[in-house]
Amino acid sequence: MDIKQYLDSTYLKTSEQSLISEKENDEIVKAAINEAISERFKLIMIRPEYVALAKELVNKLNSHLLVGTVIDFPKGTSSTEYKCSEALNAINNGVDELDYVVDYEAFKRNELDYVKKQVVECTRLGLSSNKVVKWIIEIAALNNHEIVQLTALIKNCVISNFNESQYDKVFVKSSTGFYVTHDGSSNGATISAIKLMIENAFPLPVKASGGVKSYEDAVQMIRLGVKRIGTSSAKQIANNEITNTDY
């Protein structure tokens, strides 16, 4: 199986997180973008401040690589206005796909009307600009019941407010890769959680992010029904090499 068109090659660390200078981090981002172009992955996922650079490199090389970014990352607790402002800036810089972090803490507090309104408004902004939208639900912060409920909430918001022709442009995504679990358990995609997401997101597609560490893991996820896989080790996975990264 050629899995490259399922892979969203990802680099989301800041210079502070990597304990390197901004210039060094910039070079890592450039290398990640160029690798994604040369390997012909589906998409490069980078932070918003690098979207313009990524589009410049993609256009310069006449590549079909899509450029994605994360919005309100990694905690998702900002206001709807902040999310939309950050997304609009990325749209103006040429982004192709917007991966919003849903306010899962508000969801857990049962502030469902607020979460629904945010999902609808932010999704509308993306779709009206012909962008793919993904909602990161952060499965490691949720129990199974909450995974089912939040996935279904997003699905129902989309079905109630948008056209059927747009359903395949709104994903439910598992993880940021930055959530710190208290017991050392996985903070990324697991088979059990992805099954719950696929069952309750349909007809929306699902993206598995984090936790995919080998070609076999990727194939298993694809066979379950995921349409995208987010990983910082896309080249190693595509080349059937096992990785030790968390995301």
Q: Is 26 tagged catalytic?
A: no
Query: Could you tell me how many residues make up the chain?
Result: 247
Q: Give, as one character, the DSSP assignment of residue 132.
A: E
Among the listed residues 207, 213, 217, 235, the single catalytic one is 207
Among the listed residues 13, 83, 131, 173, the single catalytic one is 173
Q: Is 134 tagged catalytic?
A: no
Sign of CA dihedral 38, 41, 43, 47: negative
Among the listed residues 72, 96, 99, 217, the single catalytic one is 99
- What's CA 26's distance to the chain center, in Å? 21
CB atoms closer than 10 angstroms to residue 232 = 21
C-alpha 223/C-alpha 185 separation (Å) is 24
**Pair type for strands 66-71 and 43-46:** parallel
Q: Is 173 tagged catalytic?
A: yes
Q: Could you check whether the bond before residue 74 is cis, i.e. omega within 30 degrees of 0?
A: yes
Q: Give, as one character, the DSSP assignment of residue 121.
A: H
CB 84 within 8 A of CB 123: no
CB 135 within 8 A of CB 172: yes
Q: Give, as one character, the DSSP assignment of residue 49.
A: G
Calculate ∠ Cα 50-48-58, nearest 5°: 45
| Active site positions, annotated | 99, 173, 207
